Amino acid sequence: MQLISETLEQAIEQLARLPGMGRKSAQRIAMHLLKVDNEQVFLLAEALNHLKTRIQTCSTCYNITDEDPCPVCASEKRETGLVCIVEEPKDVYTIERTREFTGRYHVLGGVISPMQNIGPNDIRIQELIQRIHGNEGIRELILALNPDAEGEATGYYINKLVSPLGIKVTRIAHGIPMGTDLEFIDDATLTRAFAGRQAF
Amino acid sequence: MQLISETLEQAIEQLARLPGMGRKSAQRIAMHLLKVDNEQVFLLAEALNHLKTRIQTCSTCYNITDEDPCPVCASEKRETGLVCIVEEPKDVYTIERTREFTGRYHVLGGVISPMQNIGPNDIRIQELIQRIHGNEGIRELILALNPDAEGEATGYYINKLVSPLGIKVTRIAHGIPMGTDLEFIDDATLTRAFAGRQAF
């Protein structure tokens, strides 16, 4: 095969490193970018660079933000006593989309995972304890961790650590997703849904 | 919804403009890039910029290239009398992958399409005629256009134009793809395969 363009190869190679992107999709995107306005490509490249040059971590909640403190922590409309514990910044993004949660967040930056050698000190649990001892007046933590072994273990650990401090710890409900037929639900979810049944 | 980061939104918006990319994939990629090394993001952004700053059009065959003439036109190993006519640079890419074709290319930059108001003068047919009258010694054109109405019309037009000049015009065979079961073949392809039958 005659190498047509080293520049094109480089672009395809870099694009193919993105998650969910095969070499075919990377090729299609690179070919597409060759055809569009220069402006669009420069804007894309600039926007990607800005991800690294403009985004920082909020020193209160450890979510990503353009300015420290982040808009959630800076907002006077948010409850400061209620803190939602999440694993990653993308979880904040997902929860904010519902417009339902009115408190602040605490981004752990991971979950406890003995298999991957991630202990309590490798995620921001110490920082959470410091916040609780701080002046935010935190009285309730809502755990919004993924319902897997690591998420459970992390929730268990946090609960054990902060309960003695007089902090209420709750977790978001797991059960049947809205709009789903019962027959398509896996056993673990159904078991959880029964255990978590609520008064009608 | 609290806007978490304008910078992140910009990146997602630009990524979502890429072909085959929904907002969800764009979000996943942006979140992924937040986590990887700065270096990887800068390399990606640079590679994309280079698509616009380093790639040009070969003044002989009109394929994309880092240098003019392109590696195919510059190569002494390629036959100069045999020219494969394609619609887009990506077709050259696809054909080169087979390592079978030993001639040069001519990239039309489109096909004749009355529906989209694209006539013979809007694609590089005049440039093809000039090449034929030039010093490449062109004796055969192989049409490798897509087997749709526009591709057929474009092939028909080129054949009518260059046959009087003593140029042989062929087209790549259409038929049953290798490794495909007959029962999965559409009628048009099967009809074409019968019409194009060859001695065993």
pLDDT in tens, B144-172: 998 889 999 999 999 999 999 999 999 88
Question: What is the C-alpha to C-alpha distance for residues B175 and B38, in angstroms, rounded to an integer?
Answer: 49
Do both B120 and B42 map to the same domain? no
Asked if the structure places residue B48 within a domain, the reply is: yes
DSSP annotation of B113 reads B
Do both A34 and A112 map to the same domain? no
pLDDT for position A187: 85
Interface touch A20/B10, C-beta < 8 Å: no
pLDDT for position A1: 55
Question: What is the C-alpha to C-alpha distance for residues A60 and A17, in angstroms, rounded to an integer?
Answer: 32
Do both A99 and A34 map to the same domain? no
**Chain A, window 22-51: residues with a beta carbon less than 8 angstroms from a chain B beta carbon:** 25, 27-34, 38, 40-51
| Under-50 pLDDT residues of chain B | none
Our measurement of the distance from residue B48's CA atom to the centroid of its chain's CA atoms, rounded to an integer in Å, reads 19
Asked if the structure places residue A90 within a domain, the reply is: yes
pLDDT for position B99: 86
CATH of the domain at A104: 3.40.1360.10
Do both B89 and B166 map to the same domain? yes
* Strand-pair category, B140-143 with B82-86: parallel
Do both B126 and B47 map to the same domain? no
Do both B102 and B136 map to the same domain? yes
Asked if the structure places residue B59 within a domain, the reply is: no
pLDDT for position B70: 95
Evaluate whether A108 touches A157 at the Cβ level (below 8 Å).
no
Is the pLDDT at A141 greater than 90? The verdict is: yes
Domain span holding position A155: 79-171
The kind and range of the H/E element at B65 are strand B64-65
User: How many structural domains are present in chain B?
Assistant: 2
Do both B92 and B147 map to the same domain? yes
Interface touch A34/B64, C-beta < 8 Å: yes
Do both A30 and A83 map to the same domain? no
Do both A29 and A95 map to the same domain? no
Asked if the structure places residue B167 within a domain, the reply is: yes
Is the pLDDT at A33 greater than 90? The verdict is: yes
Of the candidates B141, B5, B125, B155, which has an alpha carbon nearest to the alpha carbon of residue B62? Answer: B125
Task: Kindly state whether A109 is in contact with chain B, defined as any CB-CB distance less than 8 angstroms.
Answer: no
- Tokens for B154? 């474009």
**Chain B, window 63-102: residues with a beta carbon less than 8 angstroms from a chain A beta carbon:** 63-66, 70-72, 75, 88-90, 92-93, 96-97, 99
CATH of the domain at B43: 1.10.8.420
Peptide bond into A114 cis (omega under 30): no
Do both A166 and A87 map to the same domain? yes
Do both A90 and A18 map to the same domain? no
Do both B94 and B140 map to the same domain? yes
Asked if the structure places residue B180 within a domain, the reply is: no
Asked if the structure places residue A45 within a domain, the reply is: no
pTM of the predicted model as reported, rounded to 2 decimal places? 0.80
Asked if the structure places residue A63 within a domain, the reply is: no
Question: What is the C-alpha to C-alpha distance for residues B16 and A44, in angstroms, rounded to an integer?
Answer: 10
Confirm whether the ipTM is greater than 0.90: no
Task: Kindly state whether B14 is in contact with chain A, defined as any CB-CB distance less than 8 angstroms.
Answer: yes
Asked if the structure places residue A44 within a domain, the reply is: no
Poorest-pLDDT segment among A162-176, A183-197, B114-128:
A183-197
